[in-house]
């Protein structure tokens, strides 16, 4: 695993996210928190590529916290699955680039946006794979605030009861739900204990540390009779210190001058670790 290469991809994804936070805006804080996680999963863990979108033996990733779609589409650009120019169509009627995932975009497995919806969809896909005797993996990414939805826990009960053990529920634990801290709204901790009580195999890791992500995911005990849960501790707005860990920076609609300043801020944070070639704005 080339960590610097993953970091350079993540930097470019963050540039795309910034660019999508104008002309109507986007959910920038939550998108930035899950960028490293998405980069790791698509580049190092999952068996998915643009030639296999319809292959029943592919791995699946479903983004249940659909408001993070700027990170997903930005990564699709870096993977060569989506033309970069299409991101400028964000919120325009001539394209399907919107605030939430749309299956009209190749690589998107399912529409999402209504929180708590895709865990059950993911479970159905995973159960179908098991019935067919497949060995592919299903990953469902949830927000931590999303775990206040009862459907999340109903899905965990069924996954445990039916021993659906080829599924991984990944929690982007950035400690915010919309414009409030999760622990000030409805406390979620201790999350590990709660998921374990529902019959899951649970690990907790730093969602911005590629070495930790690699070790954690590759040591998961899939096909051992339990669904898996990976709680990834992340930071809302990661990469932009001016908006990091701020309750009021969930959804933003910046003007052109602010966008330019955010790009400078992003590059300034990474300048000491990444090469000049990496810093070229795409």
- For 220-231, what is each residue's pLDDT tens digit? 989 899 999 999
Was domain 3-270 assigned CATH 3.40.50.970?
yes
- What is the tens place of the pLDDT at every residue in 13-25? 999 999 999 999 9
The confidence score (pLDDT) of residue 31 equals: 96
CA distance 124 to 68: 23
Q: Is the pLDDT of residue 276 over 80?
A: no
CA distance 34 to 189: 20
The confidence score (pLDDT) of residue 281 equals: 32
- What is the tens place of the pLDDT at every residue in 78-104? 999 999 999 998 888 888 888 899 999
Q: How many CB atoms lie within 10 A of CB 104?
A: 11
228-233 and 167-173 strand pairing = parallel
The confidence score (pLDDT) of residue 270 equals: 57
CA distance 30 to 115: 14
What are the Cα distances from residue 274, in Å, to 81, 105, 170, 218?
A: 24, 31, 28, 26
Whether pTM exceeds 0.85: yes
201-206 and 167-173 strand pairing = unpaired
DSSP structural state of residue 91: T
Residues in contact with 144: Cβ distance below 8 Å, sequence separation at least 6, in sequence order: 171, 172, 173, 174, 175, 176, 177, 182, 188, 191
Delimit the domains of the chain by residue range. Answer: 3-270
């Amino acid at each position: 695993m080339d960590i610097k290469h993953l970091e350079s991809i993540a930097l470019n994804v963050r540039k795309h996210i910034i660019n999508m936070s104008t002309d109507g805006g986007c959910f920038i804080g939550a998108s930035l928190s899950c960028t490293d996680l998405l980069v790791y999963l698509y580049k190092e863990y999952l068996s998915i590529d643009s030639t296999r979108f319809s292959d029943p033996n592919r791995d699946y990733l479903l983004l249940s916290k659909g408001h993070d779609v700027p990170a997903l589409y930005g990564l699709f650009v870096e993977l060569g699955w989506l033309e970069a120019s299409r991101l400028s169509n964000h919120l325009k009627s001539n394209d399907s680039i919107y605030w939430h995932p749309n299956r009209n975009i190749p690589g998107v497995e399912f529409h999402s946006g209504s929180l708590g919806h895709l865990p059950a969809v993911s479970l159905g896909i995973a159960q179908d794979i098991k019935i067919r005797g497949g060995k592919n993996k299903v990953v469902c990414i949830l927000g931590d605030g999303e775990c206040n939805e009862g459907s999340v826990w109903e899905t965990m009960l069924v996954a445990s009861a039916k021993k659906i053990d080829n599924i991984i529920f990944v929690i982007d634990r950035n400690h915010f739900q919309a414009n409030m801290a999760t622990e000030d709204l409805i406390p979620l901790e201790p999350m590990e204990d709660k998921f374990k009580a529902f019959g899951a195999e649970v690990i907790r890791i730093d969602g911005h540390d590629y070495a930790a992500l690699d070790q954690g995911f590759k040591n998961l005990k899939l096909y051992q009779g339990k669904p898996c849960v990976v709680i990834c501790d992340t930071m809302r707005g990661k990469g932009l210190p001016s908006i990091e860990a701020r309750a009021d920076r969930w959804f933003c609609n910046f003007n052109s001058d602010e966008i330019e300043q955010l790009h400078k801020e992003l590059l300034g944070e990474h300048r000491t670790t990444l090469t000049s070639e990496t810093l070229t704005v795409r």
